[in-house]
Chains A and B, each alone.
Chain A
Amino acid sequence: MNKIRLDDYAPIVGSAEIHEIRALAECVGPVSLQHINSTATGGGVAEILSWVVALMKDLGLKVKWTVIDGPPTFFEVTKTFHNALHGARVSVTPEMFELFTEVSKQNLRKVDRRADFVIVHDPQPVGLIVARKNRRTRWIWRCHIDLSEADARVWGFLRTYVERFDAAVFHLPEYAKELLIDQFIIPPAIDPLSDKNRELNPSEIEGILNRFGIDPEKPIILQVSRFDRLKDPLGVLEAYRLVRHWHDCQLILAGGSAADDPESGRVLAEVRERAAEIPDVHILDLPPTSHVEINALQRAATVVVQKSVKEGFGLVVTEAMWKGKPVVGGAVGGIRRQIIHGSTGFLVHTVEGTAFRVRQLLSHPEMAAQMGQAAREYVRTNFLVTQYLKNWLLLLLAVRKPWKGLMHWPKRG
């Protein structure tokens, strides 16, 4: 568990913000809550939970984090459900639903029935709602995935559980579904003190650039992403080739290729083959623990690109914006919520558009700097852990005693 304290964020968001979060926590009071998910390490949900739990404890809430158990076959089923909820065409059998129900039942003993709130993350533990025996404990389902193209059969099955919760929480309104319960919108957030985002001194950055053979004097165009067609690395290469006609610069494509995804290996091979024809391209196939390396590359970049053709929220864009970088991003998913076109970056739809905006930023460093500064401020206001925590405190209040519009605390006579 991270040993982080809310006060550590005061130099970043200001002591007024920290003071207000503590005042808000006083409105919530010393409630007890249990977070339940399916893994203690690895993946974005566990990463977010590690700091949410630590910060909630620091605010005086009694917080417990529980991970469900299940045989490998259960997690194969939930992986299939996950893909189906993302719109993939997969084969789903009645036995899968039975196994899901059975393993959910086996985990019921893990539910803390005395907690004031039970917060269930993602579909894997959603079946635990059947442990609910009273209305005193409030149940919240936090969905971290995009359900906009969900397979009707799998969603139809899960929905019977979801509608027994008091509220659901989604990253973006586009992901919300027609449900009988309130659907709150809380975008994800980044931790500015983590290895991925903390300030680095120039020698750390230089050391990492040297290690990868990157010229620190030449402008850097960077995309950080898995080698996945949805992130369009080949499109980025093509845009870079167009930019090279005008600017002497270099391209870094940094990411990983998941061992369990044969497609990513093929994409990486294709990218390497295409990159061999273009000068100054660095393909970095990094292990998933390369947080400081990614941080250094983002800080060294002149322009950051995220030319996704499909994207969930795109926290990698948030990370680059937080480092004061102008981002040229595909106009999809959460990237559209982060980039205010022409103000905190540029939204693009094509290879040509990407090349045009990158050229524009390379030609006008003062504009790039101004945009990067606006991007950093936008993240500071909307997508840091402190704002995320504030949202959660307010959510607990809103679920415990719902109200409409504006409420004063303490209530005015």
Chain B
Amino acid sequence: MVEQFLFYSEAHIAVWAGLTASNLYSLWTGLQKVSGSAIFYHMHHSLLRRHFTTSDYMNDFARWVWTYLNQPALAEKLASVDPWEFTSVRDVREKLLAYLEPYVGEMETFMRVPERDEFQFIELRSLAFPTGLTAIDLPSFRDCLRQVGHGSLFYHLIEARLRLGRRSNDFSEWLSDCLKEDALAERINNLSPYAYNLWQLRSKIIELVEARLS
């Protein structure tokens, strides 16, 4: 018997981490100190908050460096850090620090921004909960996809990489392991949330499933 796919959703609440950055140096030290959930908030969760504004810098660090520190080259590098490519928050943090380090190293003095413009580190408390929707085959999977909200897509596509610890997502895992739909699983896994917003991603996945069904 095929194992059912249980659709979960994820809700988040923000907590002030008690840490701010006023220049490049304090951003660098802050990035080393804050919890993984703060990196998750500023890198991954920002995809959810601004998921339809694909043309903008998606993560909070790149936006702040661009807007307040006037460091466009560094901002571009930080913006290129696509959380989708990483399977752990630790790796994301290391990549960000690797981009920051040369800039921190070559500066003798650090311009401070006014207090109102400081970067505020935020942590996240996230709750994953069942939506009550279950799929047992491709048609029911497609029907459920049409009904779920963006919290569910975020949980199964974006958060999944960190939970699974590999470059995959819950949909692809289930399609491959339980329905033996390896090619479809692979196609879904190649869709990037950095290139599409969550609604577009959903449409793309539904299109792929329908193509397979027909």
A residues contacting B by CB (< 8 A) are 14-17, 19-20, 23-24, 27, 148, 170, 173-174, 176, 178, 182-186, 332, 340-344, 374, 377-378, 381-382, 390-391, 393-395, 397-398, 402-409
Given A174, A378, A390, which contacts B50 in the complex, CB threshold below 8 Å? A378
Given A173, A378, A390, which contacts B11 in the complex, CB threshold below 8 Å? A390
Q: Which of B65-95 contact A (CB under 8 A)?
A: 67
Tell me which residues across on chain B come within 8 A of A342, comparing CB atoms: 56
Quick check: A183 and B16 within 8 Å, CB to CB? yes
A76 to nearest B CB, angstroms?
30
Question: Is B122's CB within 8 Å of the partner chain A?
Answer: yes
Tell me which residues across on chain B come within 8 A of A395, comparing CB atoms: 13
Which residue among B118, B122, B127 has the maximum number of chain A CB atoms within 10 Å of its CB? B127
Quick check: B120 and A173 within 8 Å, CB to CB? yes
Question: Is B149's CB within 8 Å of the partner chain A?
Answer: yes
Quick check: A27 and B129 within 8 Å, CB to CB? yes
Question: Is B156's CB within 8 Å of the partner chain A?
Answer: no
Given B11, B37, B53, B122, which contacts A20 in the complex, CB threshold below 8 Å? B11
Question: Is B180's CB within 8 Å of the partner chain A?
Answer: no
Chain B contact residues (Cβ within 8 angstroms of A): what range? 35 or more
Quick check: B52 and A377 within 8 Å, CB to CB? yes
Tell me which residues across on chain B come within 8 A of A17, comparing CB atoms: 149
Quick check: B14 and A19 within 8 Å, CB to CB? no
Bound-state Cα–Cα, A69 to B106, Å: 61
Q: Which of B10-64 contact A (CB under 8 A)?
A: 10-16, 18, 35-37, 40, 48-53, 55-56
Closest B residue to A168 by beta carbon equals B16
Quick check: A170 and B129 within 8 Å, CB to CB? no
Bound-state Cα–Cα, A170 to B12, Å: 16
Given B49, B122, B127, B148, which contacts A394 in the complex, CB threshold below 8 Å? B127
Bound-state Cα–Cα, A183 to B20, Å: 14
Question: Is B150's CB within 8 Å of the partner chain A?
Answer: yes
A192 to nearest B CB, angstroms?
17
Quick check: B131 and A19 within 8 Å, CB to CB? yes
Tell me which residues across on chain B come within 8 A of A340, comparing CB atoms: 50, 53, 56
Closest A residue to B51 by beta carbon equals A381
Quick check: B16 and A381 within 8 Å, CB to CB? no
Closest B residue to A376 by beta carbon equals B52
Q: Which of B125-149 contact A (CB under 8 A)?
A: 125-132, 147-149
Tell me which residues across on chain B come within 8 A of A173, comparing CB atoms: 14, 16, 120, 122
Given B116, B128, B152, which contacts A148 in the complex, CB threshold below 8 Å? B116
Quick check: A174 and B125 within 8 Å, CB to CB? no
Bound-state Cα–Cα, A404 to B116, Å: 28
B148 to nearest A CB, angstroms?
5
Contacts A148-B116, A381-B49, A404-B37 given; does A16 touch B149 at CB 8 Å:
yes
Given A19, A178, A377, A394, which contacts B125 in the complex, CB threshold below 8 Å? A394
B122 to nearest A CB, angstroms?
6
A382 to nearest B CB, angstroms?
6
Which 8 pairs show the lowest CB-CB distances between chains A and B?
A16-B149, A173-B120, A185-B14, A176-B16, A394-B13, A406-B126, A409-B129, A183-B16
Tell me which residues across on chain A come within 8 A of B128, comparing CB atoms: 406-409
Contacts A16-B149, A24-B127 given; does A170 touch B16 at CB 8 Å:
yes
Bound-state Cα–Cα, A23 to B6, Å: 14
Tell me which residues across on chain B come within 8 A of A170, comparing CB atoms: 16
Question: Is B9's CB within 8 Å of the partner chain A?
Answer: yes
Quick check: A378 and B53 within 8 Å, CB to CB? yes
Quick check: A19 and B13 within 8 Å, CB to CB? no
Tell me which residues across on chain B come within 8 A of A408, comparing CB atoms: 8, 127-129
A69 to nearest B CB, angstroms?
33
B154 to nearest A CB, angstroms?
11
Quick check: B13 and A186 within 8 Å, CB to CB? yes
Tell me which residues across on chain B come within 8 A of A185, comparing CB atoms: 13-16, 122
Closest A residue to B56 by beta carbon equals A343
Interface contacts beyond A16-B147, A19-B131: sample of 11 additional A-B pairs, CB < 8 Å, sorted by A = A16-B149, A20-B11, A23-B132, A24-B11, A184-B13, A374-B52, A381-B51, A381-B150, A391-B13, A405-B37, A409-B127
Bound-state Cα–Cα, A185 to B11, Å: 14
Question: Is B159's CB within 8 Å of the partner chain A?
Answer: yes
Tell me which residues across on chain A come within 8 A of B11, comparing CB atoms: 20, 24, 390, 393-394
Closest A residue to B163 by beta carbon equals A406
Bound-state Cα–Cα, A173 to B163, Å: 28
Quick check: B149 and A398 within 8 Å, CB to CB? no
Quick check: A23 and B130 within 8 Å, CB to CB? yes
Closest B residue to A395 by beta carbon equals B13
Closest B residue to A408 by beta carbon equals B128
Quick check: B149 and A20 within 8 Å, CB to CB? yes
Quick check: A183 and B15 within 8 Å, CB to CB? yes
Quick check: A20 and B9 within 8 Å, CB to CB? yes
Closest A residue to B120 by beta carbon equals A173
Bound-state Cα–Cα, A185 to B18, Å: 12
Contacts A23-B9, A404-B37, A405-B37 given; does A182 touch B15 at CB 8 Å:
yes
Q: Which of B149-165 contact A (CB under 8 A)?
A: 149-152, 159, 163
A21 to nearest B CB, angstroms?
9
Bound-state Cα–Cα, A390 to B53, Å: 23
Closest B residue to A409 by beta carbon equals B129
User: 1/0 contact trace for B91-133 toward A, CB 8 Å?
Assistant: 0000000000000000000000001101010111111111110
Closest B residue to A382 by beta carbon equals B49
A394 to nearest B CB, angstroms?
4
Tell me which residues across on chain B come within 8 A of A184, comparing CB atoms: 13-16
Bound-state Cα–Cα, A397 to B13, Å: 10
Quick check: A397 and B130 within 8 Å, CB to CB? no
